[in-house]
Amino acid sequence: QDKVVELLKSLDKGEPNANHKVIAKMAKDGKLKSIMTTNFDEYIERALDEESVPYKLVCTNDEFREYYKNGCEDFAVLKLRGTMSRPETIISVAMHYSKHGGFGGHKSLVAHKFVKSYPTFFLGCSGWDFGYSTYQEFWAAVGKKEGEKIYFLKLKGRTNSSMISNLVGRHIGDRLIIGECVLPHSTISILERFQ
């Protein structure tokens, strides 16, 4: 486990890029409800700190339970796969994936609340893990009828549209919009529509 922790720390040497900075500026301007990420690096947190944006960091199942219990009201960085500064959270998620596949519990409930209540953007998401049965159950529960649009903005040139369409679209129908983006420019222009 110590070797895994050292390896993970070696991956967190960079700085926030333009995408993280644009997202942090949008958060500062009040354009985002929260940020949910599968990334365990801490670039988005650093970008939020640079912009002096207060946020709640939510990583563990207990933290997701508490956040859900409190109505998901605070602006938060919701880290589905844990965070670098607390490597035990990453290891815990990896063990859960190997036993159960995907996510569930209060992480799923928080994600469900957001995709039902707010326009939701998946930026640069490959969608590879949506094949897990727990994710399929999640998208089936989200459903086709109620809720806001769900945007999957794939990176320009990537060819994962059919996978996302098959794994997500069959459950949420016309709520799914797949587009291509060049970050951060596409992010800015799309989110400006929701002011």
Q: Dihedral sign for Cα 168, 63, 93, 100, please.
A: negative
**Over the stretch 10-22, which tens digit does the pLDDT of each residue have?**
766 788 988 889 8
In this predicted structure, the answer to whether residue 195 has a pLDDT above a threshold of 60 is: no
Token digits of residue 49: 């700190």
Per-position DSSP letters for 92-135, written without gaps between them:
HHHHHHHHH-S--HHHHHHHHHHHHHS-EEEES---GGGGSHHH
Average pLDDT, whole number, for the chain?
83
Q: Which of these ranges, 64-78, 81-95, 152-166, has the smallest mean pLDDT?
A: 152-166
**Over the stretch 135-183, which tens digit does the pLDDT of each residue have?**
888 888 888 877 888 888 776 776 667 888 888 888 999 898 887 776 6
Confidence of residue 42 (pLDDT cuts 50, 70, 90): very high
The backbone torsions φ and ψ at residue 102, rounded to the nearest 5 degrees and listed phi first, read 75, -160
Residue 80: helix, strand or coil by DSSP? coil
Please state the length of the chain.
Answer: 195
